[in-house]
Structure 1
Amino acid sequence: MRFPEFDEEWEEKTLGEICEMQAGKFVSASEIKEQHFDGLFPCYGGNGLRGYTKSYNYDGKYSLIGRQGALCGNVNFANGKFHATEHAVVVTPLNGINTVWMFYLLTNLNLNQFATGMAQPGLSVQNLEKVESTIPKAIDEQEKIASFLTLIDGRISTQNKIIKELELLIKSISQIIFHGHRYKFKKASLGSICTIKKGEQINSSVLSESGLYAVMNGGITPSGYYSQYNCVGNTISISEGGNSCGYVQFNDKKFWSGGHCYTLSEINAEISNKYLYYFMKFSENLIMSLRVGSGLPNIQKKDLEKFNVAFPEINQQYQISKFLDLLTEKIQVEKSLKTSLIRQKQYVLKKMFI
């Protein structure tokens, strides 16, 4: 795929022939802050943005390649003053190479495939310089490709903002609903209004990357897929163990509940299933605070059973659920659009780089 005004052959070059690469400088972890404040600059490491620090060692537009760890080969774009640590390779294009086009080229090369080492994968500047690629001879063509891909990225960025604003909106409205004074709430322990059941662990060797039924375990995404299910659709699940324990999810399709997953069933007739989900989702941080253990944190069933649920009369629960459903569906539509845009970008990347 090329723009019609360009027909000149691309030429084969190694990365070392079209750019200079240099690892950044060490900065102590104690000097890196999680939040941005005036006087601090972005700090990039092997996995992208690490935080913010008082010093900077680069000023301008640069591609950054992570060179250490499981995510080595990831590519970020920095603009302005920033600090690159020793685990980030800073890329400076040579004359005749567009900076933004260079970023998209590096993104398309899937540099992680050139990593060496098992326990701690890494990329050396020497190996990166040997990676072969093809480049347009005309910088005008590079600039046009870069501009086109930048437009797509801009649209994806806008989509991210739309999704973030909608998620903030649903949180704010949930705060008003569940902590406001509009409704008269009753309270009951979770264990008194439903049955909390722990799932059944299955061997990872029988799971596939795709299939009929998702297997939910301790994470926020499926562990894999299985040919059988042990839970029907419209079931609330709560992650039991792992770093995401306490994560609340509404499963609208049949699925397999694994050994690190709780499900809620036999819900009291006074409680709407969907209302209970929205209340539990709103209370997710409180549920996560129930976790115990450090190596592999988990939430005990007895503690979850004691968790207090507040609920108004059933018709009001239906009204609340219907309203929050509308917002949730809107978020899903926007997320689907974002996924479509990302796929379009990936397609264009593959087609525009020979």
Structure 2
Amino acid sequence: MPSKVEKLKKTTPELRFPGFDGEWEEKKMGEVIAFLKGKGISKDDIIGDGVNKCIRYGELYTEYGEVVQKVVSLTNVPAERSLESKFGDVMIPSSGETAWDIAVASCILEDGVLLGGDMNVLRPSHETDGIFLAYYLSNGSKRNIARLAQGNSVVHLYSSYLRGLKLLVPTLREQKKIADFLGTIDEWIENLKAQKREWEAYKKGMMQKIFSQEIRFKDEDGNEFPDWEEKKLGRVSEINPSSSALPEEFNYVDLESVDKGILSNPIKLQFDVAPSRAQRVLKRGDILFQTVRPYQQNNLFFDLDGDYVASTGYAQLRTKQVPQFWFQYIHSNNFLRKVLSRCTGTNYPAINSSDLKGTHVQVPDLAEQKKIAGFLSSVDDLISSHQEKITRAEEWKKGLMQRMFV
């Protein structure tokens, strides 16, 4: 039989605020929570000038964390056709792609927000804090919730299963203390994200001015650079240069490997099992341009050592000019518009290499290319620095919560 000390360790968190002691109490969710179902509100019901605030279940994945700070959607669906929130309600999706993804909870801090279908709505009793509950379910109990999900291609989470889920919860006073502390951390992280968004908006505005030539750089002596010349892209960059034979082993870059200029998880492959699309042998300074759905702008400036081969889903650009400049240029609004006008296909618009070569571009002097590339790259460095701070802060928060919940 376990000793009193051993039992206490299992029912109290590793990290605790001063002034709180004693065991956390085990309860079933159905004992302290009323279960409701959201209803109504399709994607087509969301309109910019709607009269009612609303939340759809898909937004629990994309828009909100554990606490809904600001409702982003509006609708004209009348309240009687949906479910109106109460302050402190907690929402969990009823369906999703994976069991792990579905195990998320968000607490709403407003009355009267319409809560759409495919959503479990948990209304805590007076002895349970909704914000604490959302943090607890999304972190301390996430694995247990994921185990309750049913299904394969689409998983479902039923309230009847959630009712029996066991929780270990402290007093209401300690719940509020934990919720306030984690809320402060979230505010700090959100401020970091806001700073990053400001730099991203600044860069977007500066790119528009630079590539429209509203802003021009000057040389080291303060003199104007020559006028930009109009040329076809194929004149300033080799498109899909002839490649040497594939290496015996290489890192394969497919369309899933790049997200907004960041390369992650390239696939290590042997030559004899490589897919037929593995054809673009990369050299440092090459640019990969996403030719299918180019508006996603998942392009890559390749600046690595080692053997890498890219999919033919990318166009490979190799220039003798300033490659960093051309990487920035292909993200300009004007260039994207020209590319899209040459694309074929509706659901998956794509541009072929011939049409890409024939796309007209504005070409500055090489010295000005270097100036522009240096300036925009310095802004990119600031954006990356903010993202690193965000990542570290989120990892720190995750580590804390692992120690703050039982």
When normalised by structure 1's length, the TM-score is: 0.86
SS in 1 for 2:102: coil
Structure 2: tracts of 5 or more residues without a match: 1-14, 64-71, 217-226, 244-248, 270-279
- Separation of aligned partners in 2, 1:75 and 1:160: 21
SS in 2 for 1:8: coil
Runs of 4+ in 1 over 4 A off after TM superposition: 242-246
Q: 1:303 to 1:339 in 2, by over 3 A?
A: same
Question: Do the aligned residues in 1 keep the contact of 2:54 with 2:114 (CA within 8 Å)?
Answer: yes
Aligned to 1:247: 298
Deviations 1:48-103 (A, max 9, x none): 26842124422423221111121433323323232111211111111211121011
Question: Do the aligned residues in 1 keep the contact of 2:290 with 2:299 (CA within 8 Å)?
Answer: yes
Q: 1:74 to 1:256 in 2, by over 3 A?
A: farther
1:89 aligns with 2:89: no
Give, in angstroms, the shift of residue 160 of structure 1.
1.2
- Separation of aligned partners in 1, 2:345 and 2:314: 17
297-306 or 45-54, larger mean C-alpha shift: 45-54
Question: Do the aligned residues in 2 keep the contact of 1:68 with 1:121 (CA within 8 Å)?
Answer: yes
The one-letter code matched in structure 2 to 1:224 is N
Deviations 1:110-151 (A, max 9, x none): 234421111321111111112222111x21211111111111
Aligned to 1:25: 39
Give, in angstroms, the shift of residue 351 of structure 1.
1.1
- Separation of aligned partners in 1, 2:242 and 2:33: 53
SS in 1 for 2:27: strand
The one-letter code matched in structure 2 to 1:143 is K
281-290 or 145-154, larger mean C-alpha shift: 281-290
1:349 aligns with 2:363: no
**Equivalent residues in 2 for 1:139-178, closer than 5 Å:** 139-178=172-211
Aligned to 2:232: 189
Q: 1:242 to 1:72 in 2, by over 3 A?
A: farther
**Equivalent residues in 2 for 1:56-205, closer than 5 Å:** 56=79, 57-70=84-97, 71-80=101-110, 81-108=112-139, 109-110=141-142, 111-136=145-170, 138-183=171-216, 184-197=227-240
- Separation of aligned partners in 1, 2:200 and 2:181: 29
- Separation of aligned partners in 2, 1:162 and 1:52: 26
Q: 1:289 to 1:99 in 2, by over 3 A?
A: farther
Q: 1:96 to 1:179 in 2, by over 3 A?
A: same
The one-letter code matched in structure 1 to 2:354 is K
The CA RMSD measured in Å over matched residues stands at 2.7
Give, in angstroms, the shift of residue 237 of structure 1.
1.2
Give, in angstroms, the shift of residue 278 of structure 1.
0.9
When normalised by structure 2's length, the TM-score is: 0.75
For residue 367 of structure 2, the aligned residue among 301, 311, 315 is 315
Higher radius of gyration, 1 or 2: 2
Q: 1:38 to 1:23 in 2, by over 3 A?
A: closer
Give, in angstroms, the shift of residue 194 of structure 1.
1.4
The one-letter code matched in structure 2 to 1:237 is L
Question: Do the aligned residues in 2 keep the contact of 1:21 with 1:89 (CA within 8 Å)?
Answer: yes
Give, in angstroms, the shift of residue 29 of structure 1.
4.2
For residue 315 of structure 2, the aligned residue among 246, 262, 279 is 262
For residue 299 of structure 1, the aligned residue among 351, 376, 382 is 351
Q: 1:285 to 1:220 in 2, by over 3 A?
A: farther
Give, in angstroms, the shift of residue 306 of structure 1.
1.7
- Separation of aligned partners in 1, 2:105 and 2:299: 32
Aligned to 2:74: 52
57-66 or 288-297, larger mean C-alpha shift: 288-297
Give, in angstroms, the shift of residue 242 of structure 1.
5.5
The one-letter code matched in structure 1 to 2:213 is G
Question: Do the aligned residues in 1 keep the contact of 2:52 with 2:114 (CA within 8 Å)?
Answer: no
- Separation of aligned partners in 2, 1:198 and 1:91: 58
- Separation of aligned partners in 2, 1:256 and 1:158: 39
Task: Count residues in correspondence.
Answer: 338
Question: Do the aligned residues in 2 keep the contact of 1:234 with 1:250 (CA within 8 Å)?
Answer: yes
The one-letter code matched in structure 2 to 1:300 is N
- Separation of aligned partners in 2, 1:118 and 1:14: 27
